[in-house]
Structures are given as structure tokens and as C-alpha cells.
Structure 1
């Protein structure tokens, strides 16, 4: 599955799992088929990765973390080869809820590259984003920790400054801006400010109709794509 912009990530963390999450993943899969020029990534708890991968075809199944280890010792660790075999094709690393020391981050990124797993590496400040950009992740998530789960999106100056700083270091890195995304309007605004992708957790998990909110957010991504295609 190719990762291309614009893209949208639904990261349910540990709010959804099992059948409820599978239903949303299949909804996303239908939308990914409908809009093949968009990329839709769905994260899942480790126990759900294989089930989602086996029941979808058009989304990128994404792990919420993995450890940079080979098969062997590692009791309780997340084995890259195992989640790859389960159908994982992308992984979040260094999230505020699962931060990594630099050595561990580099090792996890190395294992991901060996296996063909796309890396989405999180940075909580402009300085951290610049440093991580030097490691050449596939996607750099710029998300101030203090805004996670607040419903307050990053301001325009932060988005534009981090976009510029990362692209200056490596124009091939995709930029994911997702702090505080809670409405389809937030999705549209963030992408129009120059991000390659955006995503959401609580805006979907806390919605009265999560499936409808997921669809409306993805349709906002589609709207940005169409406007770009038309030169607007």
C-alpha cells in the first residue's frame, strides 16, 4: 500500500478495539477505495492488527509502537517481524504517551526500514522536529504535547513554521499536523495550511456517531485534494 499525500490517520489509541474498531476500519477501507488518491491509516491495539489487516484492503494498518528488536529475547516487547506478519505496514514512534530515547528510536526506525514498515515519528516541539527530521522518517508528526486531546488545534504560525523547518531539512518527509483536531473544519484548515496529512483520536472516539465523523473528516481531505487538483 503506497503512502501518499494527502492522508488521514485515525488513531483510536485504547479507546476502541475489537468489533467496534473493525467496523470503523472497514468504513475507512470503503472510503479509501472510493478515494484512491488519498491515503488512510488506521492504528489499532496490537491484538487487533491481524484481524483488521485480514478484513481490509485499501487502508494502511498501523501499529501504535514497536521495539527495535529481532526475534529472540524480549519478553513483553513489540516484535517488528511479528506485527509485520500480522499485516502492519506503518508504525507510530516516540508518541507523547510512549516516548523513546534516541538510541531506541533509531533502532526501531532501522528495523522498520528493513521490513518495509513506514515510520511516523512524533515531535512535540520545533526543536525536536528539526532533530528528528535528520533521521529521515517517512512522516514527521508535529504535535505539541500540551494540545493532545484538548480539542485545541495548533495555531497557524506553529503549523507553518514547523512545515517550513522540516521541508528545509528534507523535502521528502511528509508532515502530519494533528494536534487538537476535532472537526472536519479542523481537518480542512490544517491541510490548507500546508500539512501533507492530519489525523484524529478523540474527535472521532467521543463523537455521537464515530463512523459519520470519520467519513466527514475524510471527505474534508478529499475536498482539499480536489481544490488542489483544480488549482484553487
Structure 2
């Protein structure tokens, strides 16, 4: 399976474990509608049991696993097999999130396995130095997010956005950079892209909003707007 080609700017909707079942389906359908409306791409993560529903019912989002592992078909009870994700229609995976970190060896092996099955890799990094080091593995996306800002509704300043983006691009120019952590307002989305990010996205800023669907509409509208400014 060939990997999807990403176009700047794109968005990530990452419900983590906040949503599942019907509520997740509603958010996925809304994301799908907004991708079509604005001609924008969005990775949409879900629990493994919900991903087949997203694949079957949302033709405009990029279905994304919240993790994956490097094992091959055979033994591996309880682990996440790359071939199984690909066969189910999953097109991307997060790796090394602060809430599910990986060793550097396992991360390198998993990125290679993702290449073999045509799945995009979105690898999380905390500091500028970590972003530069992870870029050496040439993932498809590096998510630059300060761990201490995750879930705080406070985003990193423009200096961090610029420096972390430059650190990744200096090592792996083809790797896209997702600027995240604390994204909750239209201004946050604007700044994450305007100051250099290829993408942005959110979790609690969306799912914990009074109306997550209205919030998502607001964030996609500004992503469409900032596209004309970069």
C-alpha cells in the first residue's frame, strides 16, 4: 500500500481515550465533513476497536492508530501488528507520545515496519533537541509538543515553534512538522501554522469544549484562513 501524500497545512483530531463508540463516531463524521468542505486533510485517531468504523464511514479523513509496534506476523499476543492495521484501512499511526513513550530502538524498528506496510508515522518529541534526534529516523511527521503543556490550553511560544521546526527540517527536510500541545483556540491554530508548523491539532481543547463539533468547525475555519497567509 502506498503512503498518503500530506499537504500543508493539515490537522490532527486526537480523541485519545476521551471518546469511543457513538460520541467518537459523531466527531469523526464532523471531521470528515470539514475535510471535504475546506479541502483539507486531517488525521483522525481512534481506539483500535473504533478504527474500522472510521475507515468504513469517513472517506475524507486519514484513519490513524494511536500506537503501533514493530512485531511481525506470528507470536505477539496483545501487541499491535502493522499488517493488521494496514489491512483494516488504517493509514497513519502516532508513536512515542508522552503518554505512551517508546525506546529509541523500538521506535526505529517501528518506523521501518510502517514504511514496509505503507503507514504514515507521526512521532512525538518534547524538546528541540529530541525533535532533531527523532528527525534522524526520517519519520513522515514529527509532533513537536512540550510535554508540560499537554492538556493545559496553553501553547508554546513562536520561538519554540520556529526552532523546533527548523531543527527537524535541517535534518530531514521532507519530514512534516506538527505543532501541538495546548491547542484550543482559533488563534492557537493560526499561530502554530503561521510561525512555521506544517500542521496542528488537538485533544482536550476539542473534546472538552462545551460543544466539540462547534469547536472543530471554528478550528478548521481558521486553518483554511491561514492557508492563504503562508
Q: How does 1:140-155 map to 2 (within 5 A)?
A: 140-155=142-157
Q: 1:107 aligns with which of 101, 104, 109?
A: 109
Q: How many residues align?
A: 227
Q: Hey, what's the Cα distance between the residues in 2 that align with 1:3 and 1:46?
A: 23
Which residue number in structure 2 is paired with residue 216 of structure 1?
A: 218
Q: Hey, what's the Cα distance between the residues in 2 that align with 1:65 and 1:24?
A: 20
Q: Hey, what's the Cα distance between the residues in 2 that align with 1:109 and 1:183?
A: 32
State the 1:227 CA deviation.
2.9
Q: 1:63 aligns with which of 62, 65, 70?
A: 65
Which residue number in structure 2 is paired with residue 42 of structure 1?
A: 44
Which residue number in structure 2 is paired with residue 120 of structure 1?
A: 122
RMSD after superposition: 1.0
Worse-superposed segment, 116-125 or 166-175: 166-175
SS of residue paired to 1:215 = helix
State the 1:207 CA deviation.
0.5
State the 1:164 CA deviation.
1.3
State the 1:39 CA deviation.
1.2
Q: Are 2:9 and 1:29 equivalent residues in the alignment?
A: no
Question: Residue 194 of structure 2 contacts residue 229 of structure 2 at CA under 8 Å; is this kept in 1?
Answer: no
Structure 1: 4+ residue segments shifted above 6 A: none
Which residue number in structure 2 is paired with residue 7 of structure 1?
A: 10
Q: 2:190 aligns with which of 176, 188, 193?
A: 188
Q: Hey, what's the Cα distance between the residues in 2 that align with 1:87 and 1:209?
A: 29
Q: How does 1:88-103 map to 2 (within 5 A)?
A: 88-103=90-105
State the 1:177 CA deviation.
0.5
Q: Hey, what's the Cα distance between the residues in 1 that align with 2:200 and 2:49?
A: 25
Query: TM-score, with normalisation over the residues of structure 1?
Result: 0.95
Q: Hey, what's the Cα distance between the residues in 2 that align with 1:163 and 1:8?
A: 16
Q: Hey, what's the Cα distance between the residues in 1 that align with 2:78 and 2:172?
A: 35
Q: Hey, what's the Cα distance between the residues in 2 that align with 1:180 and 1:9?
A: 13
Q: Deviations over 1:154-180 (max 9, x none)?
A: 111111111111111122111000011
State the 1:123 CA deviation.
0.6
Query: TM-score, with normalisation over the residues of structure 2?
Result: 0.96
Query: Structure 2: where are the runs of 5+ without partners?
Result: none
State the 1:13 CA deviation.
0.3
State the 1:32 CA deviation.
1.0
Q: Deviations over 1:197-219 (max 9, x none)?
A: 00100011111110110111111
Which residue number in structure 1 is paired with residue 19 of structure 2?
A: 16
Query: Structure 1: where are the runs of 5+ without partners?
Result: none
Q: Hey, what's the Cα distance between the residues in 2 that align with 1:159 and 1:227?
A: 17
Q: Deviations over 1:109-151 (max 9, x none)?
A: 1111011100000111111111100100100001111111111
